[in-house]
Chain A
Amino acid sequence: MSTKRETDFLADVDLGREKLLNRLFYGTLVVASLFGLAMLVLLLTDVLWEASQALTNFDIDIGNFLTATSSSRAEQAGFGASIIASVWLMVLTAVLAFFIAVGCAIYLVEYAPENRVTRLIEANLANLAGVPSIVYGLLVLALIVNDAGLGSVILAGAIALALLIVPIIIVASIESIRAVPSSVRDGSYAMGATKWQTIRQVVLPQAMPGILTGTILALARAVGETAPLIMVGTMLHATRYPDGPFASFSAMPTQIYNWTYQADRMFNGLAAVGIVVLLLFLVAMYALAGYLRKRYETDGSSISNV
C-alpha cells in the first residue's frame, strides 16, 4: 500500500479477512464451475427420462421406431426415413465440403503469398465461421431452392450444411498441415520431388488423420443442425424413404422439431426417443474422431508410412 516503516509492515492487513475473502472467492469459482456440469447432467437426465417414459407409457416398439417412416398417426410413426435422410445429408455434405475445404487449406499453408488477397481470404474465414447457421439456410433457400428451381430437396439441404462446415474443416486442416515438420518437406524436395508431389505424397498422408478428425467433428455439428434445413424446407412428417439427392425429406433434427410441436403427447415422447438416437449418432462420431486421433498420435512422428 503506502510507504511505511519496517515495524508497521503488514500492520494494516487483516489476515483473517484476507483468508475469508480467499475462501469465499474459491468457493464461488467452484460453484460456478459446477453450474455448467449440473446443467449438462440435468439435460441428459431429462432426455433419457422422457425417452424411457415414452417407451413404457406408449409401448413404442424400438425396432419399428427405427425402421418405419413417420406418419400423421403417432402409433405408426417411426424415425427410419429421417435417419436415412440424415445419412444422405451427411454423405453429400462431406463430399461437397471436404475437397473444397482441404484444397483451401493446402493453398493457404503451402502456396499463398503474403499479400492482400491472402489476408482477405483469412479474415473472411474467421467471419464465415461466425455467420449464424440460419443465414446459410436463407442463402440456399433464395439461390438454390427458388432461383435455381431445385426445390426443397436433400441436395439443397446438403449445400447449406456444406457451406456451414467448410470453414470448420479448413481451420482443422490448416492446423494439421502446419504440424507436418518442414524437414520432411525438405527431404522430399532433396529427392527431386516437385511441390505438388511433395504435398500429395508426403504432407497430405501425414496430415490426413488430423484432417479426417476435423471433418468428422464438423459433420457431427452438421448432423445436429436444424435451422438451415427448416429454412430450406422439410416435410412435416418424413412419410417416405428418400431415394436420392433430389427427394424431399425431413432429417433427424427437423423431425424431432416437428414432433415436439404436435398436440398428441405420444409425438412428444417420440421426439425424446429420437433425440436419444441423434445423440447416439453423435457419440459414435466423436468416438470415431477420438479413435483416429489416438491411433495416429503414436506413430504420427514416424515417416515410415510415406
Chain B
Amino acid sequence: MSTETQSGSGISGDDSLEAAHEKNRRVRRVLFGCAAVTVVTTVAIFLVLFDNAASYFFGARISEVLFDGDSIARTVTFTEFFTGTRWAPDHATPAHGVLPIVWGTLAITIGAGLVSIPIGTATALYLSEYASSDTRNRLKPILEILAGIPTIVYGYFAVSFLTPVLVDGIATFLVNPAGRGLDSVSHHAPGLLEPLASGMMGASVGRYSMLAGILVVGTMTIPMVSSISEDAMQAVPDDLRNGAYALGATKYQVSTRIVLPAAVSGIFASYILALSRAIGETMAVTMAAGFNANLTVNPFDEIMTMTAYLVSMARGTSAVGTVQYQSLFAVGLLLFLMTLTMNLLNDRLKQRFQEEYR
C-alpha cells in the first residue's frame, strides 16, 4: 500500500509532513474498516437468520414483505414450534415441534458435560497440583491435540469403532453380563439388569446412538476444560496453598478446598465454553448420534440434534423456497441464540475471574 520512505525525512518540509498526516488518517480509516467487518459479520448473522426464519413462520421473508410487498400468511405458529413434540417439517403430514431436536442437542450437551467436566477438571488438578513441570509440558499439548483433530475424524471413529465395538459391547453386557452375546440362549440365566436393559433398548444397538455421540463430544471437549481450568488454577497465588499447608492440610485438602474454590470462576468459564462447543458441534454428533428426532432418555437410542437436522437438510441451491430450506434458518437462529447466551455468560465469568487476582 505505501510507497516506502522515499521522502527521506519527515522534518524537511511542511508539505511532506501534511502528506504524512493525511496518509496516517487514511490508514487509520482502512484499519477501522477491517475492525468494523467483524461487527458487520455479527449483524449480518442476526439479520439473515431472522429474515429467512420469518419465511418459515409467516410465509414470507421480512425483506420480501418490506420491499416487495409480499403478504403474510401464518404457516407455523410459535405455539406449535415451541411445544410440539414431533419434528418432521419435510414429511407428507408435516409436524413442526422443535422440542425433539432441541432435546437431542441438550442430551448430547449434558452427556458430554458429564464426561468432559469431571475428567477435564481432574486432569487440570493433576496438571496444576501434582504433575512435575516436565510432565505438564508434555501432557498438556498432547491433550490439546484432541481439540485439534477435525470433527469428521471423530465421526468416523464413532462409526467405525465406538458404536460397533464399545457401545454395542456395553449394551450386550447390560443385557447379559456373562458376555455370551444376545443370540446365545441366555434366558435361563438373565443378567441382573436384563429387564431394565432389554425394556430400555429393545433388540440391539443400531448404527447410531446417543451414547456414541456423548462419548465423542465429551472427549473432544476435555482439553477445553482441562487447559483453561489449569490456567485458572495456576493463577491461584501460592500464598493460599502455603497457608493451608501451614495449618496442617493435606494435598487433597489443599486441592479441593483451596485451589478449586479459589479458581472457581475460571473453571466455570471453561465448563461453559465446553458446553457451548458441544451445542454447536456438528459432524461428530451427526455421524455418531444419527438422524431420528426422538424424545428419549435411552442412551442406546438414535436421536437427532439441531445441527444434525441442518446437515440432513442441506441441499445447497436446489431447495430455495421450500419449507425444508426455511426451517434451516428457524433452527439455525435458535442454535445461534443458545450459543450466544452461553458466550455472554462466559464473558461475564471471565471478567470476574480476571478481577480476582489482578
Using CB atoms and an 8 Å cutoff, list the residues of chain A in contact with chain B.
10, 18, 21-22, 25-26, 28-30, 32-33, 35-37, 39-40, 42-43, 46-47, 50, 99-104, 106-108, 111-112, 120-121, 123-128, 130-139, 141-143, 145-146, 151-152, 163, 166-167, 170, 192-197, 200-201, 220-221, 224-227, 230-234, 253, 256-257, 260, 268, 271-272, 275, 278-279, 282, 286
Q: Which 7 residue pairs are nearest across A and B when measured between Cβ atoms? A: A233-B316, A132-B280, A224-B150, A103-B34, A32-B122, A107-B31, A227-B282
Residues of B within 8 A of A151 (CB): 316-317
Taking a contact as CB atoms under 8 Å apart, the answer to whether B27 and A104 are in contact is: no
Q: Identify which of residues 114-138 in chain B touch chain A, using a CB-to-CB cut-off of 8 Å.
A: 118-119, 122-123, 125-127, 130-131
A-B contact pairs, 16 of them (CB 8 A): A29-B123, A32-B123, A32-B126, A47-B153, A131-B339, A134-B307, A135-B280, A138-B310, A146-B317, A166-B38, A192-B11, A194-B10, A231-B314, A233-B316, A260-B287, A279-B153
Cβ distance B211 to chain A, nearest Cβ, rounded Å: 14
B contacts with A: majority SS: helix
Flag whether B65 is at the interface (Cβ < 8 A).
Answer: no
Q: A260-B155, A260-B287 are in contact. List 10 more A-B contacts (CB 8 A).
A: A47-B156, A121-B39, A139-B49, A141-B316, A142-B329, A224-B150, A233-B314, A233-B315, A272-B160, A275-B152
- What's the A-B contact tally at a CB cutoff of 8 Å? 270
Taking a contact as CB atoms under 8 Å apart, the answer to whether A225 and B122 are in contact is: no
Taking a contact as CB atoms under 8 Å apart, the answer to whether A42 and B283 are in contact is: no
Residues of B within 8 A of A278 (CB): 150, 152-153
Flag whether B343 is at the interface (Cβ < 8 A).
Answer: yes
Report the Cα distance A282→B147, complex, angstroms. Answer: 13
- Which of B10, B33, B127, B250 is in CB contact (< 8 Å) with A192? B10
- Which of A30, A108, A135, A271 is in CB contact (< 8 Å) with B332? A135
Flag whether B189 is at the interface (Cβ < 8 A).
Answer: no
Report the Cα distance A10→B249, complex, angstroms. Answer: 11
CB 8 Å contact bits of B40-61 with A (1 = contact, 0 = none): 0110110011011000000000
Q: Identify which of residues 256-277 in chain B touch chain A, using a CB-to-CB cut-off of 8 Å.
A: 256, 273, 276-277
Report the Cα distance A250→B294, complex, angstroms. Answer: 31
Residues of B within 8 A of A32 (CB): 118-119, 122-123, 126
Q: Quick one: given A22-B250, A100-B34, are A253 and B157 in contact (CB under 8 Å)?
A: no
Most chain B CB within 10 A, of A28, A121, A135, A268, is at: A135
- Which of A35, A37, A46, A152 is in CB contact (< 8 Å) with B157? A46
Report the Cα distance A257→B343, complex, angstroms. Answer: 29
Using CB atoms and an 8 Å cutoff, list the residues of chain B in contact with chain A.
2, 5, 9-11, 20-21, 23-24, 27-28, 30-39, 41-42, 44-45, 48-49, 51-52, 118-119, 122-123, 125-127, 130-131, 139, 142-143, 145-146, 148-157, 159-161, 219, 222-223, 226, 248, 250-252, 255-256, 273, 276-277, 279-283, 287, 307, 310-311, 314-317, 320, 328-329, 332, 335-336, 339-340, 342-344, 346-347
- Which of B44, B223, B316 is in CB contact (< 8 Å) with A143? B44
Report the Cα distance A196→B26, complex, angstroms. Answer: 10
Q: Quick one: given A124-B42, A132-B279, are A196 and B316 in contact (CB under 8 Å)?
A: no
Cβ distance B189 to chain A, nearest Cβ, rounded Å: 32
Taking a contact as CB atoms under 8 Å apart, the answer to whether A43 and B119 are in contact is: no
